[in-house]
A and B are shown apart, each in its own frame.
Chain A
Amino acid sequence: MHINSFDHYQTHESVIHRLDARVKIILTIILIISNALLPDGAWTAFMLTWGLVLGASLLAKIQFLFLATRSLVVMPFALAAITVIFSIPGHALGTIQLGNWQVVVTEPGLLRFASIMIRSWVSVQMAILLTATTTTPDLIHAMRHLRVPDILVATISFMYRYLFVLSDEALRLLRAREARSAALDNQRKHHTKLRWRIKVAGNMAGQLFIRSYERSERVYNAMLARGYQGTLQTLNPHEMKTKDWMMGSIVILALVLLQIITHR
């Protein structure tokens, strides 16, 4: 498997790509917090924030379609909020007949639901933009500067390093199963017992665990042989330049202003 099958980094040359990873992470988090602080129904403020995200993605040459399709990841969770449409009492807008149930759509309910969805949707687009314009090694390295404990950062970078290796291993196991049991999850599944299917999946997970565990022992020995002393070294100097400070403060200022105006 190629590394790009998971990684959503988009290779372009742009101001946003060149921006320091720390600044991008902090701006992303502040923008998401700002969204959380905006009251329900602050449509103008939501639109302005979304405009900011879109403007940044335009600068970064990220296609809108990419943002839009990737941002569908939040959709399944809409289930959790959908019932709020019927559950907040208020002015009734209409009635929906669901079999024997009659549910009433209320105005405050709809307002709350739309606000939750927009908040979530704009936030996830910002997070997508972050990963689309920052390589994962830079992202991980920036976490160290942001005071994430060294051990956690090193563990994350190891996980990232072996993510593809082990996903490949898992895919090989899945392919082997498909080859040997005639495309299990399609037409033939009636011929096998659930108990057997569970056992096969469990054996695969166990097999994957043992291969991973033994790999970690080999990797550690190899690291020792190469002079590992407990921390990972990097050759990539992360420096904050004037441009980074400027860009960061302008966006933060804009978001603070937005909050002040909305809450006035």
Chain B
Amino acid sequence: MMHLPFLPRPIALHIPDGFLSLPVAITFWLISIVFINMAIRKTRGQFGERQIPLMGIMAAFIFAAQMINFPVAGGTSGHLLGGALAAIVLGPWAGMLVMVTVVSVQALIFQDGGLVVMGANIFNMGLLTTLVGYGLYRGAANRSRKFQLGTAGFAAWMSVMAGALLTAFQLWLSGTSPLRIVFPAMLSVHFLIGLGEAFITVAALTFIFQTRPDILSDVQSQGGRGWILTGALITLAVLLISPFASGNPDGLERVAMNLNFIQRGAEAPFQILPDYTIPALGETGLSTIIAGGAGILVVAGLTMGIIWLIRKPRHIES
């Protein structure tokens, strides 16, 4: 019997139980349930009774595809999260349902992500990624193949960034991580993870375009302009909030307080020198992102060391 205690899967976004406060967890459960119900209704019309085997096997595909990696420098490797790819090859609603299944099985059977916080994980990794992934890709319909592939890559990158941004937001709202660290840290780490996602997504799509273009051809025309709008809005939100949250956390805190998101006096001044920026770069969003990134690299190195120590030899057996 071979046990794989640490499956090589992107774990950075799977929030475990205990890291989100109950109000945040419940809110995202409710939002996710609305989307799941919509997705169930829409896919029933699209696939009929073929729906269940197709969705189930596609979910297993995403799970297995997350094992495929490509080595980058320094022992790290690029992985696939799969939300954007699922939405692009199957259509948005089916992609959502597939990702919901993947995230729930990972939580329920492998404890990869918590149960009470599962609503949030489903939304971050399953719904948001497919919304922005498909939305952007849909916008490239009727263009040249090169343009479509480029858009798909950008969409995949954006899906990871949007998921990371929302995860950071939830952690902050729960009082688990301070705003001015969690935003730059999550965004800088996922900037790179997102690149890996984009590369694999584009390469996989290129392959599918060459071998089974028929699967892809009818998907892109699904759904109306609402998708393009949704994708564009999420992209815009990510692009606007990221520098703002990183460069002006106090401003974001004030907005959140005005909107009644947080009642507490929030996290007061930092005791870390000097205001979490790198002095030479001045007090810009970029400086904060780099500072946060440097900090996270140190701790990430430590964690990777621990994982490297406890994992089994990496030869592939069956």
Interface residues of A (CB under 8 A from B): 1-2, 4-8, 28-29, 32-33, 35-37, 69-77, 79-84, 86-89, 92, 98, 100-104, 106, 112, 116-124, 127-128, 131, 136, 139, 149, 151-152, 154-163, 165-175, 178, 184-185, 189, 194, 197-210, 212-213, 215-216, 219-220, 223, 228-230, 232
Contacts and interface: CB of A to CB of B under 8 A. Distances in A.
A200 B272 contact: no
Contacts of A127: 17, 107, 111, 114-115
B303 A76 contact: yes
A26 to B, nearest CB: 11
B58 to A, nearest CB: 7
Contacts of B37: 149
Nearest to B56: A158
Interface of B: 1-6, 11-12, 14-19, 21-22, 25, 36-37, 40, 44, 49-61, 63-65, 67-72, 77-78, 80, 85, 89, 97, 100-102, 104-105, 107-112, 114-116, 171, 175-178, 181-182, 199-208, 211-212, 215, 267-273, 295-296, 298-300, 303, 306-307, 310, 316, 318
B177 A83 contact: yes
Contacts of B97: 152, 155
A202 B207 contact: yes
Contacts of A185: 69, 71, 77
A162 B22 contact: no
Contacts, number: 327
B67 A159 contact: no
A72 to B, nearest CB: 7
A154 B56 contact: yes
Contacts of B68: 170, 173-174, 201, 204-205, 208
A1 B67 CA distance: 14
Q: Which 3 A-B pairs have the closest CB atoms?
A: A202-B203, A158-B56, A120-B18
A202 B176 contact: no
Contacts of B78: 198, 201
A36 B22 contact: yes
10 contacts: A4-B1, A29-B116, A77-B11, A119-B18, A136-B109, A152-B40, A163-B60, A201-B69, A216-B58, A223-B53
Contacts of A152: 36, 40, 97, 100-101, 104
Nearest to B203: A202
A103 B65 CA distance: 41
B8 to A, nearest CB: 10
Contacts of A149: 36-37, 40
Contact of A170 (B5, B25, B65): B65
Secondary structure at the A interface, as helix, strand, loop or mixed, is: helix
A212 B17 contact: no
Given A6-B110, A87-B271, A139-B109, A162 B25 contact: no
A106 B271 contact: yes
A6 B4 contact: yes
B181 A83 contact: yes
A194 B69 CA distance: 12
Contact of B178 (A83, A163, A207): A83
A166 B215 contact: no
Contacts of A81: 19, 171, 176-177
A154 B97 CA distance: 12
A160 B109 contact: yes
- Among B1, B64, B115, the most chain A Cβ lie within 10 Å of the Cβ of B64
A232 B1 CA distance: 30
B271 A5 contact: no
A86 B273 CA distance: 11
B218 to A, nearest CB: 13
A212 B55 CA distance: 11
Contact of B52 (A116, A123, A151): A151
B18 to A, nearest CB: 3
B63 A167 contact: yes
A209 B109 CA distance: 23
Contacts of A151: 40, 44, 51-52
Contacts of A219: 53, 57
Contacts of B52: 151, 154-155, 158, 230, 232
B203 A84 contact: no
B63 A163 contact: yes
Nearest to B179: A87
